[in-house]
A = this chain, B = another copy of it.
Amino acid sequence: MPVLEKEKKGRRYAGASHADRRTERRARLVLAAIQVFGRAGREGATVAAICAEAGLTARYFYESFPNREALYLEAYREVQRELLAELARWADPGDPVRGALTGFYAALAQHPGLARVFLLDPHGRDPEMQAAGQDTARRLVLLFAPKTTAPLVAAGLLGAVIDIARRWIEAGFAEPVAEVVAAALPFVRAAGPGKEV
């Protein structure tokens, strides 16, 4: 039940408790943040714009989040969850690396909005955001190259895979997924065992 598929409920009231409504508003804000981010980038992801998208006003923003950064972080984590879940569906026991790559690019193609949150915008220097990004990186490296431990090699591997995704996204997902995977695969293989530093 991806958050992305919620739709606006007609307005109720104390039929749902204060806590319930509060929770729903919070979820709507996270969803709105992701969509605004995807459409307008970090630049345009202003508190006002997000609230407008959610059909709420600033008051409710600060009811659920202490500040803007907190929502950014929440949105990022939500995106990470969804993309990794989507990615997992493409597992290929025969060729795990190709499966992971295919899943990665396919997941991005199916959620272009998420892709932008995930890849195209810098994550800022907030420590928690940094940590979240590193967590993502760790998980991805594990998928693409379970054996690689050298940090520099891991960095190169992710850099290649992700920058290919960036170029692909910026050009509007022009090439089919298989072609993108084919472009990335040699880099991933290059990072494999036997190429340790």
Contact = CB atoms under 8 A, between A and B. Distances in A.
A183 B125 contact: no
A152 B167 contact: yes
A43 interface: yes
B197 A187 contact: no
A179 interface: yes
A166 interface: yes
When all copies of this chain in the complex are counted, the total is 2
A9 interface: no
B151 A155 contact: no
A161 interface: yes
Contacts of A158: 163
Dominant SS among interface residues on chain A? helix
B150 A183 contact: yes
A157 B160 contact: yes
Interface footprint category on A: 35 or more
A120 B190 CA distance: 25
Nearest to A184: B156
A183 B167 contact: no
B191 A187 contact: yes
Interface in A155-184: 155-164, 166-168, 171, 175, 179-180, 182-184
Given A156-B164, A160-B160, A183-B197, 4 more contacts: A152-B180, A156-B183, A159-B159, A187-B190
